[in-house]
Chains A and B, each alone.
Chain A
Amino acid sequence: MSALQDRIAQARAEGRAALLGYLPVGYPDVPRSIEAMVALVEGGADAVEIGVPYSDPGMEGPVIQEAMDVAVRAGVGLRDVFGAVRAVADAGAVPVVMSYWNPIEHYGVDRFADDLAAAGGAGAITPDLIPDEAAPWLAATERTGLDRVFLVAPSSTDARLAATVAACRGFVYAASTMGVTGARATVSDAAERLVTRTRAVAGELPVCVGLGVSTGDQAAEVAGFADGVIVGSAYVRRVLDGRGPEGVRALSAELAEGVRRGAGVPS
């Protein structure tokens, strides 16, 4: 069983897509980042991707880089995410960690899996770890029952899509555009094509779309073809702009309305 898959299935049963929001722990500091995550849940998100600050976040655009840079300089790291995991779980959403690979490898793959499971985390999303290199992580997640979410991209071949989907548990993260994280004016056509291709090999495993969604209207559009909508930079932007928990809560409410309006959730 998978906590993430169950929650996304529950949203589907309600005739909507799930909303997954991302915030890094440690910006502007650890307590206030956790407050923002709780507000994100209260506004209507189903799951929170708790970001681990990293010194070399190769997939991030300027917004998330800026927040991570502050957190890294303050010495925030993987050990600080477990408190956030508990807070998100207590607030009623599914906590999932999002981390570049080196912080996990340095912490110890098995130790991380044990500590994450003990804190009530559902699993982890690993943006720079492909299943080909993931043997220790696959073993640790088998042992602990944690979810493991890998990414697929528009450039993935059919063979790689199939192999990556087969390695995922919880959901498949469809990185919808070729590029780094950050708000974009329009949802790319590539997103729907990628979801269609992924769904063809995903069976019951949900497919969630990330990269570029920032508004309720965009969330509605993505909800029309995906099982879940992932929003990151737009939340981080609110925190960077000093709009705090209120700003995050309001964005969640707008996006939660969007994923319901998107209606046409494919069965």
Chain B
Amino acid sequence: MTSSAVHPPQDRPAPARPSWPDATGHFGVFGGRFVPEALIAALDELTEAYEAMRVDPAFLAEFAALQRDYTGRPSPVTEVPRFAEHAGGARVLLKREDLNHTGSHKINNVLGQALLTRRIGKQRVIAETGAGQHGVATATAAALMGLSCTIYMGEEDTRRQALNVARMRLLGAEVIPVTTGSRTLKDAINEAFRDWVTNVETTNYVFGTVAGPHPFPAMVRDFQRVIGDEARAQVLEREGRLPDAVLACVGGGSNAIGIFTAFVPDEGVRLVGLEAGGDGVDTGRHAATITGGAPGVLHGARSYLLQDDNGQTIESHSISAGLDYPGVGPEHSFLHDVGRAEYRPVTDAEAMEAFALLCRTEGIIPAIESAHALAGALVLGRELGPDALLLVNLSGRGDKDVETASRWFGLGDREHVEPGAGMDTDQRPTEGAVVNDEAVAGQDAGESA
């Protein structure tokens, strides 16, 4: 293949840690620490403990054993040819983080942070959660290691993700619905910080994404980079070349940083982050932070954020609770500004179309978050054309989204079938529209022709 000459295998025995952030947590002008002084001692303690732990062979061995025996790593790479027929002839590979224990990439990070909690001698963990995946993962790690666990979740999200609330409670965690502000992820983070500053002597904050004050963006990246380290080796082994592009959805951005990091030195590989475009960036109802925001300070770091003329955070909108966040990790802002990664919006409707397509063509129900990356692959594949090789991070599975998806596609009531409506759609279906199997099958045949 000509493309293997463009991207020859470049084996690196131990992938280098990026040279950013600097010692005080800055990715260029982004990152840093914008928190009350009361938290600085705890952040320093975490930084010091983490810097010691990440080069400690005993920790690395324990972490690796947990990833293998508990999470089920390495996660496989799956080629999805029937899905790829809709991607302009490009080939599409999925990195299957949906197959991890607890159903998403979030477990990679929490196992690391739970081990760190034990190392610094704290008995209680707190966490924020949006879609509930990070909350479930944290509750899981807490149960595994005998830690007490409190999860903050926006009240709005506890309704959207009731299944995950039940899972967290079954795992022994206390789930506190947050009723301040927009009652979503950003407010859950505010409440978790308030808890932390009050109980910092006994409590560790297990942050769920590559945002927040230093050391969280770098530490969470380091725990998540296993995704890309594995995927890069897997793609090289099966294809003898690197992918042309690596795609991932971006809310806070931990799964994207996780799969990007190994590929950052590979200049020929495009890194594409898909942001939640909601109803469309031009409607103002979206969560596309880099596309539609501006630099500022939120939740302890400088990064792009959605804000108004007064510097107030604007409430974000997305069908996906896990992407419904008006900020983004500082490393993404940095990668954007230096031009190493590109960020594109995907609307709710585009994401749900890709969601339906993966379900029907490959038998995989993705998380709605991950469906944004799939939608990005459909577009990029058509741009790059035949022979392009795309690697998509399938960051989670869609069990938690069954109710949202059923509502979107009008699957609730079989009495009111409207042939041709429902999942065969590139726009929001009318109320009462119900998926029609033949119509979807017809769409498959039509679009792949």
A residues adjacent to B (C-beta < 8 A)? 53-59, 61, 65, 69, 72, 75-79, 101-107, 127-130, 132-133, 150-157, 160, 164, 175, 178-180
**Using Cβ atoms and an 8 Å threshold, which residues of chain B touch A77?**
309-312
B120 to A: closest C-beta gap in Å:
14
**Using Cβ atoms and an 8 Å threshold, which residues of chain B touch A127?**
36
Q: List 18 A-B contacts (CB under 8 A).
A: A53-B312, A56-B299, A58-B299, A59-B194, A72-B312, A76-B310, A127-B36, A128-B297, A129-B34, A153-B40, A155-B37, A155-B38, A155-B39, A156-B38, A178-B38, A178-B200, A178-B201, A180-B194
**Using Cβ atoms and an 8 Å threshold, which residues of chain B touch A106?**
296, 307, 309-311
Given contacts A79-B310, A178-B198, could you give 10 more A-B pairs where the C-beta distance is less than 8 Å?
A55-B312, A59-B197, A101-B34, A105-B296, A106-B309, A106-B311, A130-B37, A151-B38, A153-B41, A164-B37
- Structural contact, B36 and A59, CB atoms closer than 8 A: yes
A150 to B: closest C-beta gap in Å:
7
- Structural contact, B312 and A132, CB atoms closer than 8 A: no
**Using Cβ atoms and an 8 Å threshold, which residues of chain A touch B297?**
101-102, 105, 128
Q: Which residue of B lies closest to A181 (CB)?
A: B194
Complex Cα–Cα for A57 and B190 (A): 8
Output the residue of A53, A54, A178 with the most chain B CB within 10 A.
A178
Do A160 and B40 contact each other (CB < 8 Å), given the known contacts A55-B181, A178-B198?
A: yes
B49 to A: closest C-beta gap in Å:
16
Do A151 and B34 contact each other (CB < 8 Å), given the known contacts A56-B181, A102-B297?
A: no
**Using Cβ atoms and an 8 Å threshold, which residues of chain A touch B309?**
77, 106
Complex Cα–Cα for A101 and B301 (A): 11
B residues adjacent to A (C-beta < 8 A)? 24, 32-42, 44, 180-181, 186-187, 190, 193-194, 197-198, 200-201, 296-300, 307, 309-313
Complex Cα–Cα for A180 and B196 (A): 10
Which of A72, A105, A160 meets B37, CB within 8 Å?
A160
Q: Which residue of B lies closest to A152 (CB)?
A: B37
**Using Cβ atoms and an 8 Å threshold, which residues of chain A touch B313?**
55-56, 102
**Using Cβ atoms and an 8 Å threshold, which residues of chain B touch A78?**
310-311
Complex Cα–Cα for A127 and B40 (A): 12
A128 to B: closest C-beta gap in Å:
5
Do A103 and B198 contact each other (CB < 8 Å), given the known contacts A132-B33, A160-B40?
A: no
- Structural contact, B311 and A180, CB atoms closer than 8 A: no
- Structural contact, A58 and B37, CB atoms closer than 8 A: no
- Structural contact, B37 and A56, CB atoms closer than 8 A: no
Complex Cα–Cα for A77 and B311 (A): 8
- Structural contact, A58 and B41, CB atoms closer than 8 A: no
**Using Cβ atoms and an 8 Å threshold, which residues of chain A touch B42?**
155
Complex Cα–Cα for A57 and B36 (A): 11
**Using Cβ atoms and an 8 Å threshold, which residues of chain A touch B44?**
157
A184 to B: closest C-beta gap in Å:
12
Which of A56, A104, A132, A155 meets B200, CB within 8 Å?
A155
- Structural contact, A58 and B36, CB atoms closer than 8 A: yes
Complex Cα–Cα for A240 and B313 (A): 24
Output the residue of B32, B34, B180, B309 with the most chain A CB within 10 A.
B34
- Structural contact, A58 and B194, CB atoms closer than 8 A: yes
Complex Cα–Cα for A105 and B180 (A): 24
Do A151 and B37 contact each other (CB < 8 Å), given the known contacts A77-B312, A180-B198?
A: yes
Which of B34, B181, B190, B198 meets A179, CB within 8 Å?
B198
**Using Cβ atoms and an 8 Å threshold, which residues of chain A touch B186?**
56
Which of A128, A160, A175, A179 meets B35, CB within 8 Å?
A128
**Using Cβ atoms and an 8 Å threshold, which residues of chain A touch B190?**
56-58
- Structural contact, B24 and A132, CB atoms closer than 8 A: yes
- Structural contact, A154 and B38, CB atoms closer than 8 A: yes
- Structural contact, A150 and B298, CB atoms closer than 8 A: no
- Structural contact, B311 and A153, CB atoms closer than 8 A: no
Do A107 and B311 contact each other (CB < 8 Å), given the known contacts A155-B41, A178-B38?
A: yes
- Structural contact, A153 and B296, CB atoms closer than 8 A: no
- Structural contact, B40 and A156, CB atoms closer than 8 A: yes
Complex Cα–Cα for A153 and B35 (A): 12
Q: Which residue of B lies closest to A75 (CB)?
A: B310
- Structural contact, A102 and B33, CB atoms closer than 8 A: no
Do A103 and B312 contact each other (CB < 8 Å), given the known contacts A65-B180, A153-B38?
A: yes
Q: Which residue of A lies closest to B41 (CB)?
A: A155
**Using Cβ atoms and an 8 Å threshold, which residues of chain B touch A152?**
37
B308 to A: closest C-beta gap in Å:
8
Complex Cα–Cα for A76 and B39 (A): 28
B227 to A: closest C-beta gap in Å:
30
A22 to B: closest C-beta gap in Å:
15
User: Which 3 A-B pairs rank lowest in CB-CB distance, beginning with the nearest?
Assistant: A77-B310, A106-B311, A153-B38
A102 to B: closest C-beta gap in Å:
4
Complex Cα–Cα for A55 and B181 (A): 7
- Structural contact, B34 and A133, CB atoms closer than 8 A: yes
Do A69 and B181 contact each other (CB < 8 Å), given the known contacts A56-B313, A75-B310, A133-B32?
A: yes
Complex Cα–Cα for A157 and B44 (A): 10
Complex Cα–Cα for A58 and B205 (A): 15
**Using Cβ atoms and an 8 Å threshold, which residues of chain B touch A128?**
34-36, 297, 300
Complex Cα–Cα for A130 and B24 (A): 12
**Using Cβ atoms and an 8 Å threshold, which residues of chain B touch A59?**
36, 194, 197
Q: Which residue of B lies closest to A57 (CB)?
A: B190
- Structural contact, B40 and A155, CB atoms closer than 8 A: yes
A75 to B: closest C-beta gap in Å:
7
- Structural contact, A130 and B33, CB atoms closer than 8 A: yes
**Using Cβ atoms and an 8 Å threshold, which residues of chain B touch A75?**
310
**Using Cβ atoms and an 8 Å threshold, which residues of chain A touch B180?**
65, 69
Output the residue of A65, A75, A101, A102 with the most chain B CB within 10 A.
A102
Q: Which residue of B lies closest to A131 (CB)?
A: B37
**Using Cβ atoms and an 8 Å threshold, which residues of chain A touch B33?**
130, 132-133
Output the residue of A57, A58, A65 with the most chain B CB within 10 A.
A58
- Structural contact, B198 and A156, CB atoms closer than 8 A: no
- Structural contact, A175 and B310, CB atoms closer than 8 A: no
**Using Cβ atoms and an 8 Å threshold, which residues of chain A touch B197?**
58-59, 178-180
**Using Cβ atoms and an 8 Å threshold, which residues of chain A touch B201?**
178
Q: Which residue of B lies closest to A157 (CB)?
A: B41
Complex Cα–Cα for A160 and B35 (A): 14
**Using Cβ atoms and an 8 Å threshold, which residues of chain B touch A65?**
180
Complex Cα–Cα for A152 and B194 (A): 17
Complex Cα–Cα for A179 and B81 (A): 54
Q: Which residue of B lies closest to A62 (CB)?
A: B180
